[in-house]
Amino acid sequence: MGVPFIGRLSAGEWPTVLGSLFVAYFESIISLITESIPLPILQSITTILSHIHIYIFRIFISDSSNQIVDPEAQKIKERLTEATNAHELCKVHGLILEDHIVRTKDDYLLTLHRLPPKKVGSPVVYLHHGLLMCSDIWFVMNKRDQNLPYVLHEAGYDVWLGNNRGNKYSAKHLYLKPNSRKFWDFSMDEFAIYDIPDSINHILKHTSMKNLIYIGFSQGSAQAFASLSINSDLNNKVKLFIALAPAITPTGLHHKTVDTLIKTSPNFMYLLFGKRTLLPTASFWANTIYPPLFVKVIDASVQGLFDWRSANIDQDQKISSFKHLYSPTSVKCIVHWFQIIRNGKFQLFDENTSLTYSLSRSFQPANFPTRTNIKTPIRLIYGTIDSLVNIEEYLSLLPEYTTRAIPVENHEHLDIIWGKDVKRLVFPHIFNALKEAEDEDLDIKKVTNDEESI
């Protein structure tokens, strides 16, 4: 059977398709080469290149007559850029992380990170990353008081950070090997059915708390929407859900050719990247390309795909943040998003993607019942110029009386966590929501005590 979209391409669209194929297969060749190099040698090469980059960058800065450099700020940026994991990132600002391992019901082993609270019994906040990310994204801001976990920790919260199966910290299964196709046979369904509830259950059991506050960024919010909608008991365990740059049903990509291809055939991703992990050498390139050049590559990529200009993220911050932007996920997870974009529905993964099935539609994939089944109060904090957020559509999919949308003017997707003004424009909304949840708890306790006294 032929590929259905081939005959629909115009002459102007062919360069994009051929360029995508070239990138995908070039990437697979590089992946094979890097996998054949012994890990100690590969680590030595990337470490040497990283030091060379820092040296070159220092020369570049010293030669810039109009640039005033704060030595301490420069040192922090270098340490954040050189850090290889969440523990090293936290040490830059003087904090220590704990590791916790969660065994999911389908036998994946997930790593949770925790900033131990200042006192036992502190309220718990759980943060979850977005697509193609890991928990590192929460620790990369150059200024300590712009890192949300540190601010929450300082305010007296017990801060936990999750990681999806397959990413940098959760590439382990009791019976499956990461190089097997079966290991990567998961979509957002598995995040919602296993990863989120199993992680939350572990946290509550470990802390002996009855509930927690969930903060999700981008896909981290979508996973919570999905999980709360299909796990009714989870609504009693999550007392407040704060969705940063929420994702439910993105309208599509800014790049019209790519957008047309994925809407015509989500399986286009399988054609390009196979059925395991997406872009396995991305981390290698992040460690080997000169940091300012790598920033330009990411800037060009997100502008082409999403029309993001990243004007609210400083150049120095981009160098620190973009280095830790990528973490692996399955190609199937990306295909799941393309199905959602194509159908305009927040739905479970559609396993039947053949052309014959698409024409006959004997079965319809179920939608996540977000509007009817979610009982947890929701706060949506979103940028007004975020091309992925259609706030009116999102509100129509969520409970009317327990959902509140909070705009952040002239902010895009990544600005909500990495923008230069997050402390002033984003964090106050988060802490207002936390205070509302705390006040509600106090009201409930007062009513309970009054009833007991009667």
DSSP one-letter code for 313? S
Contact 305, 253 (CB under 8 A): yes
Q: How far apart are the first and last CA of the chain?
A: 75
Give catalytic residues, as residue numbers. Answer: 218, 386, 413
Q: Cα–Cα distance between 392 and 394 in angstroms, integer?
A: 5
What tokens were used for 101? 């391992």
Name which of 390, 388, 412 is nearest 254 in CA terms: 388
In 116-144, which positions are buried (b, 16+ CB within 10 angstroms) versus exposed (e)? Answer: ebeeeebbbbbbbbbbbbbbbbbbbbbee
Q: Is the dihedral of CA 185, 190, 191, 196 positive or negative?
A: negative
DSSP one-letter code for 347? B
Question: Which residues are within 8 A (CB) of 301 and not within 5 positions of it... i.e. 6 or more apart?
Answer: none
CB atoms under 10 Å from CB of 253, counted, come to: 21
Contact 441, 239 (CB under 8 A): yes
Contact 366, 225 (CB under 8 A): no
DSSP one-letter code for 194? I
Contact 195, 162 (CB under 8 A): yes
Q: Cα–Cα distance between 436 and 418 in angstroms, integer?
A: 25
- Residue carrying the six token digits 């890192």: 147
Question: Which residues are within 8 A (CB) of 14 and not within 5 positions of it... i.e. 6 or more apart?
Answer: none
The phi, psi pair for 240, rounded to 5°, reads -155, 140
Contact 161, 127 (CB under 8 A): yes
